[in-house]
Structure 1
Amino acid sequence: MRLVCSQSQLTANLSLVSRAVASRPTHPVLGNIRIDADHKSQMLGLIAFDLNLGIQVGFPAQVIEAGSITLPAKLLNDIVSRLPDEEVTLMVDPGKTMAMITCGSGRYQLHGLSVEEFPELPQIAEDGETAYLPVQSLIDGLNASLFATSSDETKRVLTGVHVTANADRLEFAATDGHRLSVIQTKFLDVDDVPVGSDIKTNLEVTIPARALRELERILNQQTEGAIAVRFDQSQMIFQCANQVLTSRLLDGGYPNYRQLIPTQFERQVTVERKALISALDRISVLADQKNNIVKISINATSQEIALSVEAPDLANGKESLPAQVSGDDLEIAFNTKYLMDGLKALPSNEIQIQLNSATTPVVLVPIGGVKMSYLIMPVQIRN
C-alpha cells in the first residue's frame, strides 16, 4: 500500500473515527483504526469499531498502490496531528504490518495488525427499514434531549434517546429519572428524499447517547438536506455523505413518558429566558457552596419571581426578576444544574413555567416556535 494525502484532512478524519475506538479493548485490534486505500476510486477509508459503535469515513487521496492495514489509534493520532501541514506519505510493504509515515523531515514506523483480525461492521438484516431524516430537525432534537439522558449503566435504557417518527413529525425524549425532555421537530419534505426512494416513517427506537453525540458532531458539518437511516431490531446505520455511523440499539421498553407530563396547572409564570439564566448563573455561585439547590419564590401581587440561596455562616443572595404570574404565590426549590440545563435547551426568548405545587412535577415550555416540554422534579424544602 502506498498513498499520499494532506496532513490536515488525515488529522481531521482520524480525530473523528478515533471516537469509536475502544477505551479498554478486549482484543488489541479494537484499539486500532482500519485504513483502506482504494486505487480505483482514489479514496482513503478509515474505520473504528468497539463492537457497539462504529464510525467509517472516506476522503480523496492519491492512492498509488491499494492496500489495507490496522494501526494503533492513539499513537497514529498523536503522530499525525503533530506533523507539519504538508503532504503525508503512508507506505506498507506487501504482506507486512509495518507502516512507514513520512512528512516533511519526519519519518515514523508503526507496527500494525492484519485487517483479517478487524471485526466487520454490522449490516442491517433483510427485513430492515430505511428512513430519511432531516439534518436540521435531527440537530434540534439532539440539542434538546441529549443532556437529559442518564449516565447510570444500571438503568441502561435511560442512557439513550427515544426517537419516534411518523408522517409529520419527529419526537425525541430523554430522561434520567429526575427530569424529562421531550421535543417535536418537523419531518422532512418529500422533495428532500432521493428520487425513487421508498419512504418509511414508522420509526421507534432507543439510541445510545454516546452514538448520538458522535452523530451530532458529524451533522454539524452538514446543516441542510436529509440523511439516510437504515435500522432493524438491533442496529441502526446513519449514512451521511462519505461518513457512516453504526450503533447498536438499546434493548427494553422505554418508559411511557407522555403520561408523566401533567395536562392541567394551577399556576403559570412567563419570564424572559436569558434573564433567568443570567440570574441563576449568578446565584448558583452560592448554591455550589451548600447543596446546589436554589429556592424560587413566586409573587403574584408584585408580578415577579425571586431566586434565593442561603448558605449558613458563608453568605446568602437573592435575585429578583419581573414575570407574568397567574395563580397563587408559591415557594419551590430546584437543583440548579437540572434547572439550568433545561433553560439553556429551550429554543425561545420567553418561556412559561407551569406548576401546581412545591412537590409535584414542573414543566417548562417555550413560547412560540418548536414544541418542547422540559419536566423537572422540585426539591423538597425543609424549614
Structure 2
Amino acid sequence: MRFRVKRELLTEAVTWGTRCAVARPVTPALGGALLSLTGGEFTVASLDGESSARITVAVEAGVDGAALVSARLLVEITKALPDQAIDVELTAGVLRLRCGAGRFGLPTMPAEEYPRRPELRSSTGTVDPAVFGAAVAQVAVAASREESLPILTCVRVAVEGSRMTLLASDRYRVSRCELPWQPADPKRTGEYLVAARPLLEAARAFAPIPAELAIVVDDDAFGGGTIGFTAAGRQLTARLFEGTFPPMGRLIDAPRPAAVTASAAELTEVVKRVALFADRLTPVVLRLEPGALTVEARGAQDAEASETIEADYTGRPTTLAFNETYLLDGLRAVGGPAVTLSFDDPHKPVSLSPRGASGSAYVLQPVRVKDQLTE
C-alpha cells in the first residue's frame, strides 16, 4: 500500500473511521483500525462487536493494499502531524508516514485476525440528517441507563409508509417523536430496537453532513440484525436488539384536559436557578395559578428559592412536582420557543410538548411531595 494524502483529509478519515475501535481490547486486533486502498479510494474501518464505523475518501492513486494498525496510535500521530501532504507506505510490516521532515512508523498486526465487518444491503429508506439528529436527541434522553433492563436502554424505531416514529422510556418518563422519511418500499413496515448510545452517536455524527442519510436494516448482517447509517462515504452500524418494547406509547396518548404554556427558555433558566436550592431528595415544585407559574425548591437548613414567570393557564390552582434532572431533560428535548405541560391529575403522568406541534411529546411521572412543600 502506498499513496499520498492531504493531512486534513487523513485526519478526518482517521477520526471518523476509528470511532468504534475498542479502547481497552482483550486482544490487540480489536483495538485496531483496518486501512485499505483500492483504486484511489482509501478506507478506514473499526468495530467493537456491537457497532462499526467506516469511511472512504478519494486520494492520489497509488499501490493498493491493506494494513491493520493500532487505532489509538494512528489517531495521535495524524493529529500531531504538520499541515503538509503525507506520504503513506506499507513496507516490511510497518506502516510508514512521511510528512515534511518527520518520519513515523506504525507496526502492523495480521489483517486476517480482524473480525469480519458487516456488509450492508441496499437502503431501506432515507431521511434528512438534521431532522433525524434532532429527533434522536429528543427521544434518547428518556432511555434507561440500567443494563439490567436491556430493552429499556434501547430506542424503538418504527417505520410505516412515509413516517418514522422514535420511542424511548426508562419507566419514569417516555419520549416520542415522529418524523418524515422516504422508504425504498412504501409498503414496508417494521419495529427495530437500537441501543440509545450508538443511535445517538450516529445521529450526532451525521447531523452536520449536507447529504441525504440512508438507513439500512439488515436482518442477516453482523451475526444478527443490524441497522446501518450511510452518507457521503461514511458508515456507522449498530446491532439490533431482540425483544418487544413495552407499550409505553399509550401513556403519551392518554387524554389530559388541563394545560399550561410558558416560554421554554425562560422556564428552563428558572428551573436551573431554583434547583440550586434543592437537595438530592427534594423535587422542584411548579405552582400553577391563572396567568402565572411559580417554581419552588427547598433544601437543607431552611434553604429555599422561588421565582414566578408569566404563563398561559386558566385552570384552578394546581401543584406539580418533578425530579429536577428529568424535568430539565424534558424541557431541552421538546425544543421550540414555548412548551406546553398537559395533565389530568397532579399525580398522573404529565406531557411536555412544543406549543402547536404534533407528533412530539415527552411524558414525565410527577413526584409525590410532602405536605409542607405543597401547602
Q: TM-score, normalised by structure 2?
A: 0.91
1:248 aligned onto 2:248: no
| Alignment counterpart, residue 78 of structure 2, candidates 70, 77, 80 | 80
Cα deviation, residue 56, structure 1: 0.7
Q: Following TM superposition, by how much is the alpha carbon of 1:184 offset from its aligned partner in structure 2, in angstroms?
A: 0.9
The one of 290, 295, 300 equivalent to 2:285 is 295
Q: In 2, distance between residues paired with 1:272 and 1:182? A: 21
Q: Report whether the alignment pairs 1:135 with 2:126.
A: no
Give the counterpart of 2:153 among 137, 159, 169: 159
Instruction: State the 1:198 CA deviation.
Output: 4.8
For residues 210-359 of structure 1, the aligned pairs below 5 Å read 210-232=197-219, 234-261=225-252, 263-287=254-278, 289-291=279-281, 293-300=283-290, 303-313=291-301, 315-359=303-347
Letter aligned with residue 111 of structure 1: P
Distance 1:67 1:157 in 2: 41
Cα shift at 1:278: 1.5
Q: Give a deviation string over 1:113-166, Cα, whole Å, max 9, x none.
A: 0211111112458xx982333434322321211222122111111112111111
Please show how residues 116-127 of structure 1 align to structure 2 within 5 Å. 116-123=112-119
Distance 1:200 1:46, change over 3 A: farther
Partner of 2:139 in structure 1? 145
Instruction: Tell me which stretches of 4 or more aligned residues in structure 1 moved more than 6 Å.
Output: none
Post-superposition shift, 1:261? 2.6
Contact 1:185 1:370 in 2 (8 A): no
Q: Is 2:47–2:53's contact at 8 Å kept on the other side of the alignment? A: yes
Aligned residue for 1:222, secondary structure, equals coil
Gaps of 5+ in 1: none
Q: Quick one: distance in 1 between partners of 2:147 and 2:82?
A: 42
- In structure 2, distance between residues paired with 1:81 and 1:74: 11
Deviations 1:275-313 (A, max 9, x none): 1112112112222x453621111123xx21110111232
Deviation at 1:323, TM superposition (A): 1.2
d(CA) in 2 for partners of 1:253 and 1:129? 24
CA shift, 1:19, in A, is 1.9
Aligned counterpart, 1:56: 54
Deviation at 1:326, TM superposition (A): 3.5
SS at match of 1:55: strand
Structure 2: distance between partners of 1:207 and 1:231: 13
The residue type equivalent to 1:238 in the other structure is F
Whether the 8 Å contact between 1:121 and 1:246 is mirrored in structure 2 is no
Give the counterpart letter for 2:102 in structure 1: G
| Structure 2 residue ranges without an equivalent (≥5) | none
RMSD across aligned positions (CA): 2.1
What is aligned with 1:104? 100
Q: Contact 2:286–2:320 (CA<8 Å) still a contact in 1?
A: yes
Count of aligned positions? 367
Task: Give TM-score, length-normalised by structure 1.
Answer: 0.89
Deviation at residue 266 of structure 1 after TM alignment: 4.7
Partner Cα separation in structure 2 for residue 272 and residue 100 of structure 1: 57
312 and 132 in structure 1: CA distance in 2 versus 1, 3 angstrom threshold: closer
